[in-house]
């Protein structure tokens, strides 16, 4: 499959991992750091790929463009803003560094729906996945306004986007690890 050239792949790794206790991007799932698992799926798909982080020195070993958050600790919305400012493409596909079950077919399906929309957000079991989604550069002014007003919710932003696609997806791609207990349960589930 040819690499995607007109959408930049973005891995968000700027969080504090406060619920996890340590840097969850480096936590192991099946013996591989979570961020490496994400990278192993994203790298073959995207011509342009970047990691947005507050701690670029931690990820230098990955040999990818590392973009420091323009303002630290503004959450995923700050990371999306940073990526949209830094990319050469008009669209980005964003995932968290804590999503070890990404499926390239699901990612490709989301991107295919993104040419006309300002954002494409998948839905599974009625839950919207704002951190496995496509966002357009057209959103920069609205995101800047939200950040300036202290509104850091990606969800809130998405409900104000006039041209958004909500698409149903199946599978486990959206599984994100927030706590050490969640990681342990996932390990047990996949050890069987």
Report the run of H or E that residue 100 belongs to, with start and end: none
Q: How many domains does the chain have?
A: 1
Let me know if residue 74 belongs to a domain. yes
Per the CB < 8 A criterion, the answer to whether 93 and 134 are in contact is yes
Let me know if residue 18 belongs to a domain. yes
Per the CB < 8 A criterion, the answer to whether 174 and 99 are in contact is yes
Q: Which residue has the tokens 């750091």?
A: 33
Q: What is the pLDDT of residues 26-73, one digit of tens each?
A: 999 999 999 999 999 999 999 999 999 999 999 999 999 999 999 988
Q: What is the CATH number of the domain that holds 58?
A: 3.90.550.10
Q: What is the pLDDT of residues 108-150, one digit of tens each?
A: 999 999 999 999 999 998 999 999 999 999 999 999 999 999 9
100 closest CA partner among 8, 15, 185: 185
Q: What is the pLDDT of residues 139-187, one digit of tens each?
A: 999 999 999 999 999 999 999 898 999 999 998 998 999 999 999 999 9
Let me know if residue 2 belongs to a domain. no
Let me know if residue 151 belongs to a domain. yes
Domain carrying residue 165: 7-191
> Which tokens sit at 111?
């991107």
pTM for this model (two decimals): 0.95
Let me know if residue 1 belongs to a domain. no
């Amino acid at each position: 499959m040819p690499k995607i050239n007109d959408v930049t792949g973005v891995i968000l790794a700027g969080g504090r991992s406060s619920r996890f206790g340590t840097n969850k991007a480096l936590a192991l799932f099946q013996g591989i750091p979570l961020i490496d698992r994400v990278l192993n799926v994203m790298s073959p798909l995207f011509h342009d790929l970047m990691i947005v982080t507050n701690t670029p020195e931690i990820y230098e070993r990955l040999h990818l463009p590392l973009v420091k958050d323009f303002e630290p600790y503004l959450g995923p919305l700050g990371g999306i803003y940073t990526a949209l400012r830094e990319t050469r493409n008009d669209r980005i596909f964003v995932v968290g560094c804590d999503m070890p079950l990404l499926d390239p077919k699901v990612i490709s399906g989301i991107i295919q729906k993104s040419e006309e929309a300002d954002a494409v957000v998948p839905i599974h079991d009625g839950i919207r996945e704002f951190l496995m989604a496509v966002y357009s550069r057209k959103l920069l002014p609205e995101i800047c306004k939200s950040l300036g007003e202290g509104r850091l919710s990606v969800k809130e932003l998405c409900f104000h986007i006039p041209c958004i696609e909500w698409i149903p997806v199946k599978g486990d791609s959206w599984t994100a690890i927030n706590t050490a207990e969640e990681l342990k349960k996932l390990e047990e589930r996949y050890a069987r």
